[in-house]
Chain A
Amino acid sequence: MPNVNTRVFFSKTDRAKYISHLDLYRVFQRAIIKSKLPVWYTEGFNPRLYIQFMLPLSLGQEGLREAADFRLTEEIPPEEVTERLNASLPLDLRITETSVPVMKNTDIAEAEYKIEAELSREKFAEFAQSEKILVEKKTKKGISEVDLKPNIKNLEISDKITLRLPAGNEFNLNPALLFEAFEKFSGEKISRIKITRTRIFAKNGEEFK
Chain B
Amino acid sequence: MYRNDEMMKKLDEFLLDVQKPSRYIGGESGSVFKDKENVDVRFAFCFPDTYEIGMSHLGMKILYGLKNRVPNYWCERVFMPLPDMEQKMRERNIPLYALESLDPIKDFDFIGFTIQYELCYTTILEMLDLAGVPVLASERTSLTPIIMGGGPCVCNAEPLCDFFDLFAIGEGEEMNLELMRLMEECKKNGLTKAEFLEKAAQIEGIYVPSLYDISYNEDGTVQKITAKAPAPEQVKKRVIKDFDSVYSPDNFVVPFTDIVHNRAVVEVLRGCIRGCRFCQAGFIYRPFREKKTDTVLNQTKTLCENTGYDEVSLSSLSTSDFSDIEGLLSTLTAYTSKNRINLSLPSLRVDRFNEKIFEEISSVRKSGLTFAPEAGTQRLRDVINKNIKESDVLKGVKIAFEGGYTAIKLYFMLGLPTETDDDIRGIYALAKTVIDEYYQNPNRKKGKSPSVSVSLSTFIPKPFTPFEFEPQASEAEIKRKQKLMTDICVDKKINISWSKYDVSLLEAVLARGDRRVGKAIYLAWKKGCVLDGWDEYFDFGKWKEAFAECGLSMSFYANRTRSYEEIAPWSHINMLVSHDFFVEENKRAHEGTTTPNCREKCSNCGVIKNIGGECCKKI
Interface residues of A (CB under 8 A from B): 14-16, 18-20, 23, 26-27, 29-34, 36, 41, 47, 59-60, 88-92, 191-192, 194
Q: Which residues from chain A contact B256 at a C-beta distance below 8 Å?
A: 18-20, 23, 26-27, 90
The answer to whether A30 and B12 touch (CB under 8 A), given A14-B27, A90-B27, A91-B27, is no
Give chain A residues whose Cβ lies under 8 Å from the Cβ of B13: 191-192
Q: From known contacts A15-B27, A18-B256, infer whether A30 and B309 are also in contact, taking CB-CB under 8 Å.
A: yes
B602 within 8 A of A: no
Does B556 count as interface, using CB distance less than 8 angstroms? no
Q: Which of A18, A31, A60, A92 has the most CB of B within 10 A?
A: A18
Q: Which of A23, A41, A47, A192 contacts B12 (CB 8 A)?
A: A192
With A15-B26, A191-B13 in contact, do A91 and B307 touch (Cβ < 8 Å)? Answer: no
* Residue B351 at the chain A interface, CB threshold 8 Å: no
A146 to B28, CA, bound (A): 38
Whether A27 and B29, one on each chain, are in contact in the complex, defined by CB atoms closer than 8 angstroms, is yes
CA distance A196 to B309 in the complex (A): 31
- In the bound complex, how far is the Cα of B27 from the Cα of A124, in angstroms? 35
Distance, CA A41 to CA B339, complexed state (A):
12
Question: Does chain A have a CB within 8 A of B306?
Answer: yes
The answer to whether A18 and B21 have CB atoms under 8 Å apart is: yes
Residue of B nearest to A23 (CB): B256
Interface members, chain B 527-575 (any A CB < 8 Å): none
Q: Which residues of B contact A (CB under 8 A)?
A: 1, 8-9, 12-13, 15-16, 21-22, 25-29, 31, 33, 254, 256-258, 305-310, 340
* A31 with B29: CB separation less than 8 A: yes
Q: CB-CB < 8 A to A92: which residues of B?
A: 27
Cα–Cα distance between A194 and B8 once the two chains are bound (Å) = 13
State A173–B203 Cα separation when bound (angstroms): 63
When the two chains form the complex, which single residue of B28, B258, B305 contacts A34, counting CB atoms closer than 8 Å?
A: B305
CB–CB B310/A33 < 8 A: yes
With A20-B22, A27-B256, A34-B305 as given contacts, are A90 and B29 in contact (CB-CB < 8 Å)?
yes
Complex interface: chain B residues within 8 A of A31 (CB): 29, 308
Q: Name the B residues within 8 Å of A29 (CB-CB).
A: 308, 310
State how many angstroms separate the Cβ of B88 from the closest Cβ of chain A.
13
Which residue of the partner chain, among A18, A88, A191, A192, contacts B22 with CB atoms under 8 Å? A18
Query: How far is A15 from B26 in the complex, measured between Cα atoms in Å?
Result: 7
Q: Which 4 A-B pairs have the closest CB atoms?
A: A30-B308, A15-B27, A34-B308, A33-B308
Main secondary structure, interface of B, reads loop
- Nearest B residue to A29, CB-CB: B308
**A14 and B467 alpha carbons, distance in the complex (Å):** 53
Give bound CA distance, A27 to B31, whole Å.
Answer: 14
> In the assembly, what is the distance between CA of A32 and CA of B307, in Å?
10
A26–B22 CA distance with the chains assembled, in angstroms: 14
Q: B29 to A23, Cβ gap below 8 A?
A: no
* Complex CA distance for A31 and B308, rounded to whole angstroms: 6
Q: List 15 A-B contacts (CB under 8 A).
A: A14-B8, A15-B22, A15-B25, A15-B26, A18-B22, A18-B256, A27-B29, A30-B254, A31-B308, A33-B308, A88-B29, A90-B27, A90-B28, A90-B29, A91-B33
B22 touches A23 (CB 8 A): yes
Q: What chain B residues lie within 8 Å of A41 (beta carbons)?
A: 340
Please name all residues of chain A whose beta carbon is closer than 8 Å to the beta carbon of B33 when the two chains form the complex: 91
How far apart sit A19 and B16, CA to CA, in the bound complex (Å)?
A: 11
Contact A60 B16, CB 8 Å, known A19-B22, A47-B340 = yes
Distance A30 CA – B255 CA, assembled complex (angstroms): 11
Closest chain A residue to B253, Cβ basis: A90
A101 to chain B, nearest CB (A): 24
Residues of chain B with a CB closer than 8 A to A14's CB: 8, 27
Contact indicator B306/A16 (Cβ below 8 Å):
no
Which residues of B have CB within 8 Å of A90?
27-29, 31, 256
**A16 vs B1: C-alpha distance when bound (angstroms):** 16
Given A23-B257, A23-B258, A192-B13, A18 and B25 touching (CB < 8 A)? yes
Contacts of A23 in B (CB 8 A): 22, 256-258
Q: Across the interface, do A18 and B340 meet the contact criterion of CB distance under 8 Å?
A: no
Question: Nearest Cβ in chain A — how far from B607, in angstroms?
Answer: 41
Closest to A32 in B: B308
Could you say which residues of chain A place their CB within 8 Å of the CB of B310? 29, 33
Residue among B16, B31, B33, B256 with most chain A CB within 10 A = B256
A101 to B26, CA, bound (A): 32
Q: Which residue of B lies closest to A35 (CB)?
A: B308
Bound state CA distance, A92 and B29, in angstroms? 9
What separation, in Å, do the CA atoms of A59 and B20 have in the docked complex?
10
Cα(A60)–Cα(B33), bound, Å: 22
How far apart are A179's CB and chain B's nearest CB, in angstroms?
Answer: 13
